Amino acid sequence: MKKILILSAGVVSLAAAGLMIAPNFVQAQASNANVNGAGRGYGYQQSLATKAKALGMTEDQLKTQLQSKTLLEIAKDKGISESQWHEKMQTAAKARWEANGLTQAEIDVRLKTMKERQANCDGTGNGGGMHRGNR
């Protein structure tokens, strides 16, 4: 009988602990998503702010334009060529990485990767890593 009581107390304790942890887990998962459920957290907002600043517009203005245009189309409308846009993004990224304490070797590797991605970019994306493809 003692074994049953001890076992029952253990099961109840585990169940109670699970009930206390579950709401915190759900809240943590929800904070990583926007109202649409997409994972658009701090990194996305920082990237959006950097791009908006480089284009001389607010984040809200950029979000609105990204509903119908690509970043490259928006940049070209602002008189910024593709190569100028890439340079602006490289400069902003380098400054951010330096501020975060990366070594020059780490920055060089990241810049190399960034330049390769830019060279392979066909201009159909919205800058958030999600391509709209044919419009």
What are the extents of the domains in the chain?
A: 1-31, 44-120
φ and ψ of 87, to 5 deg: -65, -40
pLDDT tens-digit readout, 6-18? 766 666 666 655 5
Residue ranges, the chain, pLDDT below 50: 25-39, 130-135
How far apart, in whole angstroms, are the C-alpha atoms of residue 5 and residue 20? 23
| Residue-level pLDDT at 34 | 42
Cβ-proximal residues to 94 (8 Å cutoff; 6+ apart), any chain: 107, 111
Place of tokens 């979000």: 63
pTM over 0.75: no
How far apart, in whole angstroms, are the C-alpha atoms of residue 129 and residue 107? 21
